[in-house]
Amino acid sequence: MEKKPFVTKEQLEKIVEKYPTPFHLYDEKGIRQTARDLYKAFSWNEGFKEYFAVKATPTPAILKILKEEGCGTDCSSLTELMMSDRCGFADGNSIMFSSNETPAEEFILAKKLGAIINLDDITHIDFLKDACGIPERICCRYNPGGYFSLGTDIMDNPGDAKYGMTKPQIFEAFKRLKREGVKEFGIHSFLASNTVSNEYYPALAAILFNLAVELKENLGVHIGFINLSGGVGIPYTPDKEPNDIFAIGEGVRKAYEEILVPAGMGDVKIFTELGRFMLAPHGHLVVKAIHEKHTYKEYIGVDACAANLMRPAMYGAYHHITVMGKENEPCDHTYDVVGSLCENNDKFAIDRKLPKIDMGDLLVLHDTGAHGFAMGYNYNGRLKSAEILLQEDGSTRMIRRAETPEDYFATIEGFDF
């Protein structure tokens, strides 16, 4: 799959005149289209709802776009709950709270906002009860253990993950919660990350649908919804084809009709909490080449660093790079594209084949719309960059300004800066 920026060089040059690099740029048109495709793919399920994973892109302007497209939010912290509330999601059906090792104050706020609380562990039942009481609608997170594989390169080890309950635990949890007055139950699970396979969601759905039938038949509980969580990924590298959300939706539908409908559970709602799939392709980190170095390797230094995009430094993640205006030139130079941190892993690309890069060239790092800005930090005193929205009409607006040194110093006590 050829990776093309969602802006042209001419567009970007005009944007850079207004907003200095580096900055994260988001494509409103693409975001809306992905949300609409997701809802169309699951339109067979009357109660379907996407709860966008706020941790992926905690930006109010983005959340409001998704709200307009019918999405809710999936939160995992106090501030994500607060952001969802301030963006208008606290209507009793639009917030999912999936957390672990959760402070009491976070459960209290989640319940106050009418969020669906997703319990990560059986011990959290008493903790929640003591903190604020058990709501009548609740969800439990399931971990089947062992290894999960689709017979391809998609494999993960749920048994080594800190999330979720074992099967005996979730049965016991549902028994106890039923005694506590719960009227509606949900099941949630997450088995693999960033799968580029149309088979992942249908396979996960079958596991959860069978579990739901067992729980209903053995405990007499009402399963109102099943949350397939995230895990549907994107092709970061150009050699892979993107997921087909319509094929995925059809695969889940088949499992639903084979497992749930015969069990008299054709009213179960399907929820998702996608982050990467919804936003990653619709974000670019835009940087400028400002230095070149010729030593044992060829280096291109840009005006961003791992503080702007942590994924390559953190776990060697690949982000495709386009040198704007040179898309059709031969990739006959081999570069390490690096940032300014005093860490040798501050590299956006290693031994990457690219066209010749000249100082002042604009570079686009693809697929940064999720887990890009969100994972920023301030090591070396580096400051988070601005976020810019490319609107549907082609205009741009700043949706988060860049940090300033005064922001960096603002939390320091005892010194006059």
Q: State whether 117 and 208 are in the same domain.
A: yes
Among 243, 274, 305, give the residue marking a domain's end. 274
Alpha helices in 197-293 (DSSP H): 200-219, 245-255, 276-279
Q: State whether 174 and 234 are in the same domain.
A: yes
Q: Could you give the percent of the chain with pLDDT greater than 70?
A: 96
CB 279 within 8 A of CB 369: yes
Among 249, 274, 299, give the residue marking a domain's end. 274
Look at residue 100 and tell me if it is in a domain.
yes
User: Reduced to 3 states, what is the DSSP secondary structure of residue 271?
Assistant: strand
Tens-place pLDDT, residues 162-193: 678 999 999 999 999 999 999 999 999 988 88
Tens-place pLDDT, residues 143-163: 987 555 554 444 455 555 567
Q: State whether 60 and 150 are in the same domain.
A: yes
Measure the CA–CA gap between 222 and 43, rounded to whole angstroms: 23
**What local confidence, expressed as pLDDT, does residue 153 receive?**
42
- Quickly state the pLDDT bin for 57 (edges 50, 70, 90): very high
CATH of the domain at 309: 2.40.37.10
Q: State whether 320 and 288 are in the same domain.
A: yes
CATH of the domain at 185: 3.20.20.10
Q: Which two tokens stand for residue 48?
A: 């379907």
Q: State whether 167 and 210 are in the same domain.
A: yes
Look at residue 155 and tell me if it is in a domain.
yes
Our CA angle for 234, 43, 92, nearest 5°, is: 90
Query: What would the DSSP string read from start to end of 125-167?
Result: HHHHHHHH---SEEEEEB---S-EE-SSS-EE-GGG-S-SB-H
Handedness of CA 17, 390, 319, 74 (dihedral sign): positive
**111 phi and psi angles, rounded to 5 deg:** -65, -40
Q: State whether 229 and 285 are in the same domain.
A: no
Measure the CA–CA gap between 355 and 298, rounded to whole angstroms: 13
Q: What is the mean pLDDT of residues 119-132?
A: 96
Look at residue 417 and tell me if it is in a domain.
no
71 is catalytic: no
Predicted model pTM: 0.95
Mean pLDDT, the chain, whole residue set: 94
**What local confidence, expressed as pLDDT, does residue 85 receive?**
98
Measure the CA–CA gap between 98 and 190, rounded to whole angstroms: 11
Q: State whether 193 and 128 are in the same domain.
A: yes
Look at residue 22 and tell me if it is in a domain.
no
Peptide bond into 22 cis (omega under 30): yes
**What local confidence, expressed as pLDDT, does residue 152 receive?**
41
Look at residue 18 and tell me if it is in a domain.
no
**Number of domains comprising the chain:** 2
CB 28 within 8 A of CB 65: yes
The alpha carbons of the chain give a radius of gyration, in whole angstroms, of 23
Tens-place pLDDT, residues 365-394: 999 999 999 999 999 999 999 999 999 999
Q: State whether 65 and 188 are in the same domain.
A: yes
Q: Which of 139, 140, 331, 342 is catalytic?
A: 342
- Quickly state the pLDDT bin for 136 (edges 50, 70, 90): very high
Tens-place pLDDT, residues 351-367: 999 999 999 999 999 99
Q: State whether 247 and 353 are in the same domain.
A: no
**What local confidence, expressed as pLDDT, does residue 158 receive?**
57
| 8-state DSSP, 195 | B
| 8-state DSSP, 237 | S
Domain, as residue range, for 390:
281-409
Look at residue 10 and tell me if it is in a domain.
no
**What local confidence, expressed as pLDDT, does residue 415 receive?**
82
Look at residue 356 and tell me if it is in a domain.
yes
Measure the CA–CA gap between 35 and 345, rounded to whole angstroms: 35
Q: State whether 111 and 219 are in the same domain.
A: yes
Q: State whether 265 and 154 are in the same domain.
A: yes
Residues contacting 316, CB < 8 A, separation 6+: none
Among 209, 239, 274, give the residue marking a domain's end. 274
Look at residue 86 and tell me if it is in a domain.
yes
Q: State whether 214 and 363 are in the same domain.
A: no
